[in-house]
Amino acid sequence: MQKIITIVGARPQFIKAATLSRQFQKLGIEELIVHTGQHFDANMSEVFFQEMEIPKPTYQLEIHGLTHGAMTGRMLEGIENILINEKPDGVLVYGDTNSTLAGALAAAKLHIPVIHIEAGLRSFNMAMPEEINRILTDRISDYLFCPTDTAIQNLEREGFKNFQTKILKNGDVMQDAAIYYAEKAEKKSNILSKLNLPTFILATIHRQENTDSPENLRNIIKGLNEINLQIPVIVPIHPRTRNILSLQNIQPEFNLIDPVGYFDMIMLLKKCELVITDSGGVQKEAFFFEKYCITLREQTEWVELVKNGFNMLTGSNPEKLNAAFEFFKTKKSDFSINLYGKGLAAENAANEILKF
């Protein structure tokens, strides 16, 4: 393949895409980037692209703020027009967003090979829009790059060996990104001096199953308040979630801070004592920086973290959350186990794509 169109729609996808873009440049593969605009992010300015060393999008569709159906449909239309004009040799998509599904659908209907990075992940919760997106994207993809053995096993259980699909294990590009940007974060971020806390726990809450459920949100805040009595808890929080807390009269007794950029997030992950999150990506990043993680969900796509004792699922239950906190306070583990490719995922994938 000589010409690839990459579809992205959110800031984390740009960070993932940057890992492969660097490899494509080394191998002489032409890449055009399409930004759907799914997650409108004011932080994605010129400075963001410069600091993160990310190629600027060739096309910007600016589609956001719509329902799932309307957003996906508009994206499908816009991406289709680009593919007809550009005639790429392949379309590359990441993860499980509406942008991912729209890009894969547009390419498949035009008989352009679809490459799915982060294939085979399953939460087994069909109430999650992401689960629907990732299952459908996998089914219409031609090349499935899986981050873990578990992801490959998921595809095999679903009968993918019977499909005209190539399944490859390349590792996790998020580990590539974490390794690449960790040194830069030390120079770029001043978040730690701002907080001025010798020890702290980092927590994030953003999934709708938690933020849109007053009961779940109240229970999570209760658990975090109790933990905060022992170690300060830091929570970068979206304005929407902050507003919900106010409307529901839920009183956090820990440190709420504004959303942070990637470099600041890396420094918080590097220096915290423990991570508490409902984010899929942050669960892995905790492991990359050798931190235990408590996950505020009933299931996770990253089951290998749970199986190997690095992660514990508590849902929104405050008693389970506190029990997990007490457990991890004294636990010692070897984080050197190779679960995600040790930073070679993008290189592995790019070298395979070159052969297609």
Catalytic amino acids? 206
Number of other CB atoms surrounding residue 18 within 10 Å: 22
3-state secondary structure of 344: coil
Contact 68, 129 (CB under 8 A): yes
Extract the tokens encoding 216. Answer: 């779940």
What radius of gyration do the chain's Cα atoms show?
A: 20
- How is the beta sheet containing 143-146 ordered, strand by strand? 59-60, 30-35, 3-8, 90-94, 114-117, 143-146, 166-169
Place of tokens 């629907």: 132
**CA–CA separation, 133 vs 142, rounded Å?**
16
CA atoms within 13 A of residue 26's CA, in its CB half-sphere: 13
